[in-house]
């Protein structure tokens, strides 16, 4: 099967992971990055301008890039668009001259209020897709209201290769051996910094990796526990499997009920300690395969109990990883489900 894949090519991105999963499944994948169409204009003040105006002024540049980049003689069974914020309706009409079907995968919240402006171009293009994938059930009727031909719920996934330890028995660098870890950026107004501060004030020692933490009003309290910027590759995996507890937090503005960490932490062999939601409780048995909390105090108490009982911690880690595999939420699983929906062999 020949697949044209449009999405981020960075080795650490979930977009790249899905493209690699398609290759492992035997597909011939041509992976192009739409960001190349705009180059430096996606950075600095121009990037912020395009982000806040829904990329409406980039349509011509993206179309021109497609004309230059795509070999007009090639035909594809499928075009997989990852994210899609740069792909206009006119670009999709151009793509469909060479692709039998086109699918959209966006694990952000393009129909929500927080990033409403960012996804103006995407929403206008929805009727052009043969299938729109969504990671929230309530996104499905929202896509339908935009004119989507077909919609399908999928979970955020983990990658069967990128998120599994190269050698589960190998030693972890001491820098990644921690009692508690949180990996992720500090997002304004989301309260991630306040949770970390609450744990610290209880005498716990969370190791924090990620960007933007210096902007927190409580940075003075967090600074001794901040280990550095974002992690990727084996460092990311080792930070999760090397910690006794991995904190999972949601993006409220993104209307999240689960995140990629929900899958990646158990995949790496870590213990998921996440906010309690209906989706988390659907994915894992509480107290047996993962640990959940609904307040700063409950999170701290859960961490204290786990750290006091290493045997329980190890049982939950192992059970969580086993349940993850039963859930069939790897990238290859998701791609196979999409192929079945589209009746692709």
76 domain-assigned: yes
Residue 166 has a pLDDT of 75
The runs of H, that is alpha helices, within the chain are: 14-24, 44-52, 59-69, 89-95, 120-125, 139-145, 192-201, 219-222, 233-241, 260-267, 278-283, 296-307, 310-327, 331-342
165 domain-assigned: no
Please tell me the distance from the alpha carbon of residue 192 to that of residue 202, in angstroms, as a whole number: 16
277 domain-assigned: yes
133 domain-assigned: yes
Chain segment 103-134, per-residue pLDDT in tens: 999 999 999 999 999 999 999 999 999 999 99
Please tell me the distance from the alpha carbon of residue 198 to that of residue 57, in angstroms, as a whole number: 44
Residues in a beta bridge with 181: 207, 246
CA 309 to each of CA 237, 274, 304, 305, 325: distance values in angstroms, whole numbers, following the listed order: 23, 18, 9, 6, 25
Residue 192 has a pLDDT of 97
Kindly state the tokens that stand for 108.
């952000």
Do 110 and 35 lie in one domain? The reply is: yes
CA 225 to each of CA 73, 210, 221, 295, 297: distance values in angstroms, whole numbers, following the listed order: 55, 11, 8, 21, 19
Instruction: Match 């999409």 to its residue by tokens.
Output: 338
Percent pLDDT > 90 in the chain is 96
SS3 label, residue 320: helix
Do 108 and 194 lie in one domain? The reply is: no
Note whether 110 and 122 are within 8 A (CB). yes
Do 129 and 11 lie in one domain? The reply is: yes
Do 138 and 212 lie in one domain? The reply is: no
Average pLDDT of span 225-250: 96
Do 28 and 99 lie in one domain? The reply is: yes
Q: How would DSSP label each residue in 50-75? A: HHHTTTGGGHHHHHHHHHHHS-TT--
Structural domain boundaries, residue 153:
2-157+330-342
CA 166 to each of CA 18, 162, 267, 316: distance values in angstroms, whole numbers, following the listed order: 19, 9, 12, 21
Do 178 and 35 lie in one domain? The reply is: no
Do 259 and 142 lie in one domain? The reply is: no
Do 186 and 137 lie in one domain? The reply is: no
278 domain-assigned: yes
Chain segment 297-339, per-residue pLDDT in tens: 999 999 999 999 999 999 999 999 999 999 999 999 999 999 9
Residue 19 has a pLDDT of 98
Do 185 and 323 lie in one domain? The reply is: yes
Do 179 and 316 lie in one domain? The reply is: yes
Residue 171 has a pLDDT of 84
Do 207 and 106 lie in one domain? The reply is: no
169 domain-assigned: no
Do 199 and 259 lie in one domain? The reply is: yes
Chain segment 54-108, per-residue pLDDT in tens: 999 999 999 999 999 999 999 999 999 999 999 999 999 999 999 999 999 999 9
pLDDT at 168 > cutoff 80: no
168 domain-assigned: no
Number of domains forming the structure of the chain: 2
pLDDT at 241 > cutoff 90: yes
pLDDT at 169 > cutoff 90: no
Q: CATH number for the domain including 46?
A: 3.40.50.2000
Note whether 92 and 102 are within 8 A (CB). yes
Average pLDDT of span 242-268: 96
53 domain-assigned: yes
pTM over 0.85: yes
Residue 165 has a pLDDT of 81
CA 342 to each of CA 10, 129, 152, 339: distance values in angstroms, whole numbers, following the listed order: 27, 12, 11, 5
């Amino acid at each position: 099967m020949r697949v044209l894949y449009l999405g981020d090519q960075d080795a650490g991105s979930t977009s790249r992971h899905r493209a690699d999963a398609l290759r492992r499944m035997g597909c011939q994948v041509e992976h192009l990055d739409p960001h190349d169409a705009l180059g430096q204009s996606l950075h600095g003040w121009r990037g912020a301008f395009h982000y806040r105006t829904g990329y409406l002024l980039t349509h011509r540049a993206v179309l021109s890039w497609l004309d230059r980049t795509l070999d007009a003689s090639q035909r594809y069974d499928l075009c997989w668009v990852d994210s899609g914020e740069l792909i206009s309706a006119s670009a999709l009409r151009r793509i469909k001259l060479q692709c039998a079907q086109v699918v959209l995968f966006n694990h952000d919240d393009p129909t929500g209020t927080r990033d409403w402006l960012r996804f103006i171009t995407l929403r206008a293009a929805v009727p052009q897709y043969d299938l729109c994938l969504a990671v929230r059930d309530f996104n499905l009727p929202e896509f339908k209201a935009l004119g989507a031909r077909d919609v399908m719920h999928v979970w955020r996934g983990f990658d069967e290769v990128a998120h599994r330890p190269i050698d589960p028995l190998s030693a972890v660098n001491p820098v990644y051996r921690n009692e508690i870890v949180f990996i992720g950026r500090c997002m304004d107004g989301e309260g991630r910094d306040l949770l970390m501060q609450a744990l610290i004030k209880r005498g716990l020692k969370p190791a924090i990796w990620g960007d933007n933490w210096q902007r927190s009003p409580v940075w003075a309290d967090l600074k001794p526990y901040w280990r550095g910027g974002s992690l990727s590759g084996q460092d990311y995996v080792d930070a999760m499997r090397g910690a006794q507890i991995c904190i999972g937090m949601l993006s409220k503005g993104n209307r999240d009920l689960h995140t990629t960490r929900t899958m990646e932490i158990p995949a790496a062999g870590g213990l998921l300690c996440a906010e309690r939601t209906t989706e988390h409780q659907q994915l894992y048995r509480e107290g047996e395969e993962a640990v959940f909390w609904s307040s700063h105090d409950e999170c701290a108490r859960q961490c204290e109990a786990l750290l006091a009982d290493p045997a329980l911690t190890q049982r939950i880690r192992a059970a969580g990883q086993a349940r993850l595999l039963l859930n069939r939420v790897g990238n290859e699983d998701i791609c196979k489900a999409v192929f079945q929906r589209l009746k692709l062999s």
